[in-house]
Amino acid sequence: MTTANTAPKTVMQRLLDGVERVGNMVPHPVIIFLILIGIVIVLSAILGAFGAAVSFERINPDTHEIETASTEIRSLLNVEGIRFLYASLIPNFMSFTAVGLMIAAMIGAGVAEESGLVTALIRKLVIVSPRWALTYILAFVGILASIAADAGYLVLIPLAGVAYMAVGRHPLAGLALGFAAVAGAFTVNMLIKPLDAVLVEFTNDAARLVDPARSIGLASNVWFSIASVIFLTFIIAFITDRMISPRLGEYKPEASADGAVPDQGAVLSEQESRGLRFALYGLIGLLVVFLLLTLPSGAPLRNPETGELIGNSPFMNGLIALIMLMFLVTGWTYGIGAGTLRTLSEVIAAIEKSIKNMGGTIFLFFVLSQFVSYFTYTNIGTVMALSLSGALQAANIGALPLLIGFIVVVAIIDLLLTGAIAKWAIFAPVFVPLLMKLGVEPEAVLAAYRVGDSPMNAITPLNAYFALVVGFAQKYDKSAGVGTIVSLMLPYVVLMFVLWTALFAVWKALGLPWGL
């Protein structure tokens, strides 16, 4: 890691430096996942030979009925497993949604970056914002970025790195800040998002096992979520300013992969100002079009059956298209105004350049998609999750300790099963009825799940975007690797998990309302 910090290092800094050195000694991420694939194949064969299995109740995601199911370890070395290994190679990659999201987002982001819009916006943000407020603004926006599903990984994280470098701070601290905000607080927001609709629906299905008349609404966790957003914004900013930035020290641009140093002038040029005005006009025009497509009754982007706009609707399901078009339109209009990107041929060239730079990441995603698919096929993660939840259920402890234990179990399992919906489909019918019988409202159980499901996203290698963040880091430091990201994210993960859990416990103890 590139630093110029000559002050004596604290014990924590030395520990994190050690984590980084050990982590960076591991092979290339592609090699790591190839090794993990081999481990999963062998482990599945061994556990499958011993007949490892578990029975449980779950919510059918299609019918929303409670059903009894049995899951056993499936071997990848028997006849069916070998057939799956051979036949699923391409389907695994094609169904890996992170690839499509990344390419779609980078089509727009590439134009915005090549035209100079990104740099101008960041410089404008730096000019109008007090220096001390930049960290808080980026953390807050990063947490809210989950409204756009996974687009926050592709947009906010690299922007945070650029913003930090623009004010003379280490860009890796900006990347860490963005990753912690986007991934570590993914399940909470100040707005209702599509994920909320699914989690609430599963919660209601589980609650009706105890009380058929019991149900909660979409805003059932809104007060806790709003408080969590504000709380986590300050925690992330504190960790960045007090722990991450001092450890990284001063950034040396000559150590970056491309050696590029952005213009850090204090005043925007006349061309840049005109470009930003043109970009604003383009954004307004695009928003007018989308308002016409969403606001009127029966608009094309509303749910054709219910008419809803927020929740399960074409607008929310295709939100990445709006993100792509926003960057594409504003990038091109900025280029026209600033004179940096005028013709359609230049726009296409910018897109091609952006896609071309993703070759290594796309290959990594190909290998990662195989690992995720094989791991899911074997049911190893599901059996482990159910075994841990069964042990917690049988612990015979009070409601609050059980809720905290539930948060811990969810966090552990999140290292292996990152999908928030898939885990809740398993956990909801177990813990919602159990805790309701102990007098705990289902809103509290869902809030506990949100706490446990988020922080580990920033450190698990099964997060599809973890490798992408490694790639972002290598843009500024060629020696950056898996260990670099792990050492940067450890303080966020530990403190966010501990302090957020404490906030939950205090909220529950005081009997504060979880939402509407």
270 token code pair = 């006349």
394 token code pair = 């049988």
Q: Is the dihedral of CA 148, 311, 454, 70 positive or negative?
A: negative
Q: State the Cα–Cα distance between residues 237 and 176, nearest whole angstrom.
A: 11
Residue 461: CA atoms inside 13 Å, Cβ hemisphere, count?
A: 18
Contact call for residues 340 and 247 (beta carbons, < 8 A)? no
Find the length of the chain. Answer: 516
Place of tokens 């100002």: 273
Q: In the prediction, which pLDDT does 22 show?
A: 59
Using DSSP's 3-state secondary structure scheme, residue 319 falls into: helix
φ, ψ at 6 (rounded to 5°): -100, -5
Strand (E) or helix (H) holding 54: strand 53-59
Q: Name residues of the chain where pLDDT drops below 70.
A: 1-29, 56-64, 97-98, 101, 122, 126, 147-151, 194, 253-267, 311, 381-382, 385-386, 388-396, 417, 419, 422, 426
Q: Is the dihedral of CA 13, 15, 21, 25 positive or negative?
A: negative
Q: Cα angle at 309 between 303 and 312, to 5 degrees?
A: 55
Contact call for residues 117 and 330 (beta carbons, < 8 A)? yes
Place of tokens 């953390």: 139
Q: Which residues pair with 57 in a beta bridge?
A: 68
Q: Give the distance between the most distant pair of CA atoms in the chain.
A: 72
For residue 370, which of 90, 78, 39 has the smallest C-alpha distance?
90
Q: In the prediction, which pLDDT does 219 show?
A: 81
pLDDT tens, residue by residue, 315-337? 877 777 887 898 899 999 999 99
Report DSSP letters for 423-464, one per residue.
HHHHHHHHHHHHHHHTT--HHHHHHHHHHHHSGGGGT-TTST
